[in-house]
Structure 1
């Protein structure tokens, strides 16, 4: 039996959730650029780690998580950009990398 989240593969569901949460940070909720950057990068790293644990091979999802988290961190802390730009970079990278790696990951098998 394969692990599913909302009837979908874990990598797809968790990376989509990460992108959505990153987007929510941008809706003028009173956060500074640094706070928004930490939230986007932290959410990407946390949910990506969970997705890596629930998919096989782990390396593909771990790479996706690493790239998205680093890109968010560089955007938030390496350059003076708005939180919307940080979230856009994170969401775009997650979408592109999920599209590229989609055929290379599958849900982890569990005993029923």
Structure 2
């Protein structure tokens, strides 16, 4: 039996890591504005979730929505950088917990319970 990435819950763990990185990316990133940094980080996290779970569609939907929220917050709503990161992170974490997790399973066999 081959363990999956990060054990039994790759969607939740990667979503939490991605949400934290999204907030960090939106704060004082040199060379790129906060909305773009948050969008790229959220999109990358959701794509990694799609790579480690099946079916792929819920994670890709989350990638588009999380990146879109960051871009709309940065360019459409003109809110502070911290708010942009917080919004994008909240969407990524919320979708990972309530949208992706109930619908997907790890691509490899889960680790046995001990």
TM-score (norm 2): 0.79
Cα contact 2:21–2:41 (8 A) shared by 1: yes
Where structure 1 has 5 or more consecutive residues not aligned to the other structure, the ranges are: none
Aligned-residue CA RMSD (Å): 2.1
Aligned to 1:106: 105
Deviation at 1:95, TM superposition (A): 2.5
* Counterparts of residues 27-106 of structure 1 (less than 5 Å): 27=27, 29=28, 31=30, 35-101=33-99, 102-106=101-105
Deviation at 1:109, TM superposition (A): 2.2
Aligned to 2:5: 4
Would the alpha carbon gap of residues 53 and 25 (structure 1) be closer, same or farther in structure 2, given more than 3 Å must change?
closer
Where structure 2 has 5 or more consecutive residues not aligned to the other structure, the ranges are: 110-114
TM-score (norm 1): 0.81
Cα contact 2:42–2:92 (8 A) shared by 1: no
Deviation at 1:13, TM superposition (A): 1.9
Aligned to 2:13: 13
Q: How many residues align?
A: 107
- The secondary structure found in structure 1 opposite 2:33 is helix
Greater shift in the superposed pair: 35-44 or 87-96: 87-96
